[in-house]
Structure 1
Amino acid sequence: MKRIFLFAALLVLAATACDRDEYKDKTPNDPALYLDAAASRPDINVFFKRTVETQQKNLMAVLSSPLSHDIEASLAVDPALVDLYNARHGTDYELLDKSHYELSTNALSIAAGEVNSKPATVQFKNLTALPIDVTYLVPVTIASSDVGLLGASSRVWYLVKQTSAVTTVADLTDNWITFPTLDKAGPQSDLFNGLTAVTYEIIVRVKKFDKQKAEISSVMGVEQYLLLRFGDTSFPRQQLQVQAGGSKFPDADDVKSLEANEWYHLAMTYDVLAGDMRIYVNGEVQSEGKAKWSGEAVDLAMRAKYDADPETNASLKEAYQFLIGYSYDEKRPLQGEVAEARVWSKVRTAKEIWDHMYDVDPAADGLLGYWKFDTPEDGDIIRDMTGHGNDGVAAKPLKWNTSVEVPQINKE
């Protein structure tokens, strides 16, 4: 075992020495070559679900400053870097077989006076033949005899895995999901009205909790009625809060604050008549207690009641509606990514929430709406998996992230 650790340490020291050698006899102002894909971080996830056959990643050669002559560079996969990656990260990943990847070119050029080459691609193929939940490496490097390299940014490791986890999510930064069918009277909106029990569930990653921009991040629900959100005035910015009628739940507690850039499964359950409320984070109860309600049933689609009888329900014409990532106005954005969301007409038990955090039967009893944010091919539409037809519609063109891996806490 000592020999293994000694070997790993030597590899890391050797890599560090190589990085330093690249700057030998150079001044800080000398132009240097690097890969744009490695500029922010040296490893890139290529995670995909079982139905995905191909993936493509783009990269370019870049100069830190232009030169007066053309630059020629070579692009290659370097198997020797697999051991270096494993030594640095304590992993035992193998090199991906050549049958599963292809470089679009092995040569990149940067013209005099320019700083970027034309884009090249790494095409990953035959992916469904790979085993589930096994990670492989494809280390890609750049080299040139015309100019020095910019340290570790001259190489990038692609981590390739066919995963059983969620791999595609929608980015709701400065965006949100509406539900047009809930504005209209009929059986679709009727499902969301007259509820005596409610469960919200959502898988979400907040990119940032920016108190300067807003004191609240709206998650899902109905403003000033039944809303799950982060923060409030004089309330911890990163703590979950439910606005239920005229009450707010729970009390402020900094210990309950969540972190930015972490995936969470969030759930809120509410027995309307009894007033019993619970907030779950990753399947565990974070808060529980009483939240007062008027005693009447919950209506998440109040405009549908106006549509059915405008004269009687005139006050509901502009009522707040059920939304994801939006509530009062655009100044309370979610600023994050969503993997899926659900609404139930029942109080889900702790076991039910834990067992089915990342997937659920679309025909399950009491499931009113189920939206999986995993179909970029549908554009700005988020299909209702229940078959009830309450599809979500993005307020603005959706941005998709198709290479994530949402941790499955209940399977670890």
Structure 2
Amino acid sequence: MIMKHIFKYLMLGAVALLTHACNNESESDLLEPKVYFENKTQMLSIEGETMTVELSSRLTTLSDSPVEVTYAIADKSVVDEYNAKYGTSYEMFDASHASLSSTSSTIASGDIYSEIISVELSNLSTVEEGKSFILPVKVQSNSVPTLPGTDMVFFFISKPVKITTVAKFNSNYIKVPFPAGTYFNSFTYEALVYISRFGSNNTIMGTEGIMILRIGDAGGGVTPEDIIEVAGQQTYKVSDPVQTGKWYHIALTYDQPSGKSAIYVNGSKWAETGWAIPGFDPNADVGFNIGKIPGFQWGERPLYGYMSEVRVWSVARTETQLKQNMLTVDPKSPGLELYFKLNGTDEQAGGYIKDCAKGLECTTNLSIFEELETPVKVE
């Protein structure tokens, strides 16, 4: 019996010592310096032929001795992984057009920041306008570990799209005949919109009474600019009213599996709600129209202003995707069912205009394109 008690206390003591050792190890691990990037992303808007940016890393805590760190451009698989995780479509920036002034740097004893090196990007005139790239750079050290999840910096590289020609809507419209049998379960509407003056209903696009996106529906003491309405489904009261004389990127998304619908303005979610609908037929009732509903018996509800980059998708685009592609998108993107650039390049003749995604021939009275003094800017 005595031996049994002695064994019991020895075991308890061993567990206590093991627990204490683990705690000490945990505390030691927390105090151990680790190297990482303080800023994991840098957004680079490129112009000209070359660009140089600074790069440095840091330690979580001070080190008693100098710490050598090394840098390397990561491979394309890192970009592929990023796209898969966030639903984006970035391309890997050509590593042959990127060079590091040094592949190593030192963090001095008693300091936490490394010496600065530079990253030079070249041949930038060959970068296609509107495309988005990532250059991933990795840091590591032989003397200290890296902080998990922060050992990579992503340089997001793009050449700004400059939209200087837009379509003027002044009782103008585009009537879209989607192929027979078209039915959207999930979908996205999006467009660049500029309001010159408000009417009582300002049609952006959609199927009247079924699924139409417009700004305002006067009445009940609510002024048009205070709301963004999806007629037939939902009226969204906005906290920041839409203004005249200003460009907006406005998007409506519906993800049928989750039943989530959202309004995005300039890439940020302004409102969200739930719908219990299976989807809709864009050819229903008076059909799908952009800019106004021509010949509609209860009023044509025109938008007065300008529009550009009008798109319809058969998928619910994510917030990241909307932000990445406000000013342009690849016409061959999966799920893109209708795309009018409305910058004067859309094929148009004899009262018809073709979209550049599927080549749908749509009727229109759109005849005015206007050159802007300054390019479209979404803030």
* Superposition TM-score, scaled by structure 1 size: 0.48
CA distance in 2, matches of 1:341, 1:240: 20
- Partner Cα separation in structure 1 for residue 253 and residue 301 of structure 2: 23
- The aligned residue for residue 324 of structure 2 is 355
Q: Which residue of 2 aligns with 1:237?
A: 224
Matched residue SS, 2:162: coil
SS in 1 for 2:223: strand
Q: For residue 169 of structure 1, what is the amino acid of its counterpart?
A: V
AA partner of residue 370 (structure 1): Y
Partner Cα separation in structure 2 for residue 244 and residue 333 of structure 1:
14
Q: Which of 284, 298, 302 is the equivalent residue of 2:280?
A: 298
Task: Give the superposition deviation at 1:263.
Answer: 1.0
AA aligned to 2:359 is: G
Q: Distance in 2 between matches of 1:391 and 1:256?
A: 37
Q: CA separation in 2, counterparts of 1:408 and 1:335? A: 19
Contact 1:236 1:257 in 2 (8 A): no
The DSSP-based 3-state class of the residue aligned with 1:280 is: strand
Q: How does 1:202-217 map to 2 (within 5 A)?
A: 202-210=191-199, 215-217=200-202
Q: Show the counterpart of 2:171.
A: 174
Secondary structure of 2:197's match?
Answer: coil
What is the aligned counterpart of 2:334 among 365, 370, 373? Answer: 365
* 2:354 corresponds to: 383
Give the counterpart letter for 2:168 in structure 1.
Answer: D
Query: In structure 1, how many angstroms separate the alpha carbons of the residues matched to 2:272 and 2:260?
Result: 8
Q: For residues 372 and 351 of structure 1, what CA distance do their matches in structure 2 show?
A: 21
Structure 1 residues 288-312: Cα deviation after superposition (integer angstroms, max 9, x where no partner): 122x34x33311123xxxxxxxxxx
Q: After TM superposition, list the pairs within 5 Å mapping 1:98-177 onto structure 2.
A: 164-177=161-174
Correspondence for 1:7 = none
Cα deviation for residue 218 of structure 1 reads: 1.1
In the alignment, the residues of structure 2 paired with residue 208 and residue 262 of structure 1 have an alpha-carbon distance, to the nearest angstrom, of 11
Q: Map 1:5-24 onto structure 2 (within 5 A).
A: none
1:393 aligns with 2:378: no
Q: 2:330 and 2:265 mapped to 1: Cα distance?
A: 21
Change (3 A) 1:345 1:175: same
RMSD: 2.4
Partner of 1:249: 235
Residue 288 of structure 1 is matched in structure 2 by 272
Compute the displacement of 1:409 (Å).
3.9
- Call closer, same or farther: CA 1:357–1:189 in 2, change over 3 Å: farther
Give 2:249's aligned amino acid: H
Q: Which runs of 5+ in 1 are unaligned?
A: 1-131, 133-162, 183-187, 303-318
Asked if structure 1 preserves the Cα contact closer than 8 Å seen for 2:174 and 2:366, the reply is: no
Q: Is the 8 A contact 2:267 2:326 kept in 1?
A: yes
Output the TM-score relative to the length of structure 2.
0.52
Counterpart CA distance in 1 for 2:373 and 2:250 is: 18
- Cα distance in 1 for partners of 2:337, 2:227 equals 23
Q: Classify the secondary structure of the residue corresponding to 1:207.
A: strand
Report the alpha carbon displacement of residue 248 of structure 1 after superposing the two structures with TM.
1.8
Candidates 175, 184, 189, aligned match of 1:200? 189
Distance in 1, matches of 2:319 and 2:366, equals: 36
* Percent of residue pairs identical: 29
Q: Structure 1 pair 359/164, CA: closer, same or farther in 2 (3 Å)?
A: closer
Deviation at 1:177, TM superposition (A): 1.0
